[in-house]
């Protein structure tokens, strides 16, 4: 969808190019994060795609057409752009700001009003804000308006320069989740810039890690970047806790879980003790026709005839296929049972995850 071929940008009067020789392919419906230190050329790269900055070398193709052969105004209408530090028009209200591109592409009032209603819902903005001016909003509100405005006319391509930088961690997390939701539905082609490695890991299909001069150090899915950083620069950039960050990307459903110690409630207490001793956890799950009833401790079985006789206790936490291994790890380290119990819909028993099993994925 977007293809950068040996792209170069030299600003006049500067010794080194802002972007030297950058080649990057971005697929349709893909979300790519540009990350790297301040001044490495992220904003320059983004702006060359919609021709706010003209490259001094190389080619940029959008949908197989050289952007330099397209009318810049029409080109920009088809590309949503979130400017670093939001860049709202100061003398126009929030409503006017959001409707800018829909008006340019001649949507009628009714359609624009419906779209605005939809966007303020998505971005959790108060309708009261619509008639204010940008200076009358908080930084975080302005930022959300900036993203809403870029999405307004539903462009297939979005360029976003640090879209969530000015909001607190809680709102930021919510916006990121909304972003993932929206993107799962709309599958736009998105290039976004961020300083936050965790944000890039969470939101992108692939991360482009740039060094000063727009040098591409690695371009790969977050999972690969964390597992096999290309070089010391990337290793340092992704920072500590690479293993934990990787666990956050792997779903419980992606790996095989252990069977774990299991008995049915009608099993004899002797049988339950045998299963307990074999597994070595000191407890056993009681499962009745696939449904997990809970767990019993070895000494609770004393004087009982069957495994179901002491009332099985519920596990303090469960994980499902959709949870990440990082959540499963949390469940392991905070539970008394030293294992995370995996269930599917309706408490259907799937198995367990232990620290040992999860560590295998960290080093894999």
Contact 221, 56 (CB under 8 A): no
Instruction: Return the axis-axis angle of helices 94-104 and 109-122, rounded to nearest 10°.
Output: 130
Instruction: Give the separation between CA 176 and CA 199, rounded to whole angstroms.
Output: 8
Q: Quick check: helix, strand or coil at residue 259?
A: coil
Instruction: Give the separation between CA 104 and CA 152, rounded to whole angstroms.
Output: 11
Q: Which is nearer to ligand ATP, 181 or 236 (CB)?
A: 236
- Residues within window 78-97 making contact with Mg ion, judged by CB under 5 A: 84
Size of the site for ligand ATP (CB under 6 A): 11
Q: Which is nearer to Mg ion, 84 or 178 (CB)?
A: 84
What x/- string results for residues 5 through 24 when contact with ligand ATP is judged by CB under 6 A? Answer: ------x--x---x------
Structure tokens at 107: 């949507």
Q: Which is nearer to ligand ATP, 11 or 356 (CB)?
A: 11
Q: Is 19 exposed, middle or buried (0-12, 13-18, 19+ CB in 10 A)?
A: buried
Based on the shown chain and the rule CB under 6 A, indicate whether residue 41 belongs to the binding site for ligand ATP: yes
Which listed range, 41-49, 92-100, 101-109, 274-282, lies at the site for ligand ATP (CB under 6 A)?
Answer: 41-49
Strand partners, 356: none
- Residue 143 CB, nearest distance to ligand ATP (Å)? 15
- Residue 49 CB, nearest distance to Mg ion (Å)? 14
Based on the shown chain and the rule CB under 6 A, indicate whether residue 76 belongs to the binding site for ligand ATP: no
Instruction: Give the separation between CA 324 and CA 350, rounded to whole angstroms.
Output: 15
DSSP 8-state code for residue 12: T
- Of the residues 24, 26, 35, 43, which one makes contact with ligand ATP according to CB under 6 A: 43
Which listed range, 32-40, 112-120, 132-140, 235-243, lies at the site for ligand ATP (CB under 6 A)?
Answer: 32-40
Q: What CA–CA distances, in Å, run from 18 to 39, 49, 112, 211, 351?
A: 8, 15, 39, 10, 53
Instruction: Give the separation between CA 195 and CA 189, rounded to whole angstroms.
Output: 20
- Residue 313 CB, nearest distance to ligand ATP (Å)? 52
- Residue 167 CB, nearest distance to ligand ATP (Å)? 17
- Residues within window 19-58 making contact with Mg ion, judged by CB under 5 A: 43
Based on the shown chain and the rule CB under 6 A, indicate whether residue 51 belongs to the binding site for ligand ATP: no
What residues line the site for ligand ATP (CB under 6 A)? 11, 14, 18, 38-44, 84
């Amino acid at each position: 969808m977007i293809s950068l071929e040996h792209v170069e940008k030299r600003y006049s009067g500067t010794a080194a190019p802002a972007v030297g020789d950058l080649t990057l392919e971005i697929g349709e419906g893909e979300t790519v994060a540009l990350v790297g230190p301040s001044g490495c050329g992220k904003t320059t790269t983004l702006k060359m795609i919609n021709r706010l900055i003209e490259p001094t070398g190389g080619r940029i193709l959008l949908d197989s057409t050289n952007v330099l052969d397209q009318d810049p105004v029409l080109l920009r209408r088809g590309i949503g752009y979130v400017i670093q530090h939001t860049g709202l028009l100061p003398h126009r209200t929030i409503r006017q700001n959001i409707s800018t591109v829909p008006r340019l592409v001649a949507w009628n009032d009714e359609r624009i009003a419906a779209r605005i209603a939809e966007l303020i819902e998505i971005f959790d903005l108060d309708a009261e804000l619509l008639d204010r001016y940008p200076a009358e909003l908080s930084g975080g509100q302005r930022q959300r308006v900036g993203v809403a405005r870029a999405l307004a006319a539903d462009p297939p391509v979005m360029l976003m320069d640090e879209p969530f930088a000015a909001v607190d961690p809680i709102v930021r997390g919510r916006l990121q989740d909304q972003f993932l939701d929206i993107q799962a539905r709309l599958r736009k082609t998105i290039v976004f810039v961020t300083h936050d490695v965790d944000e890039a890991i969470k939101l992108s299909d692939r991360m482009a890690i740039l060094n000063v001069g727009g040098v591409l150090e690695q371009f790969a899915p977050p999972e690969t970047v964390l597992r096999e950083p290309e070089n010391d620069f990337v290793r340092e950039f992704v920072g500590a806790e690479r293993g934990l960050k990787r666990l956050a990307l792997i779903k419980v459903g992606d790996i095989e879980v252990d069977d774990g110690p299991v008995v049915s409630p009608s099993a004899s207490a002797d049988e339950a003790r045998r299963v307990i001793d074999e597994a070595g956890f000191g407890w056993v799950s009681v499962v009745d026709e696939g449904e997990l009833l809970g767990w019993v401790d070895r000494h609770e079985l004393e004087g009982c005839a069957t495994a179901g006789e002491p009332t099985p206790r519920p596990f303090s936490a469960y994980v499902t296929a959709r949870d990440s291994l990082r959540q499963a790890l949390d469940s392991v380290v905070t539970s008394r049972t030293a294992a995370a119990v995996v269930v599917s819909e309706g408490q259907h028993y799937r198995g367990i995850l232990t620290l040992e099993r999860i560590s295998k994925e960290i080093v894999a």
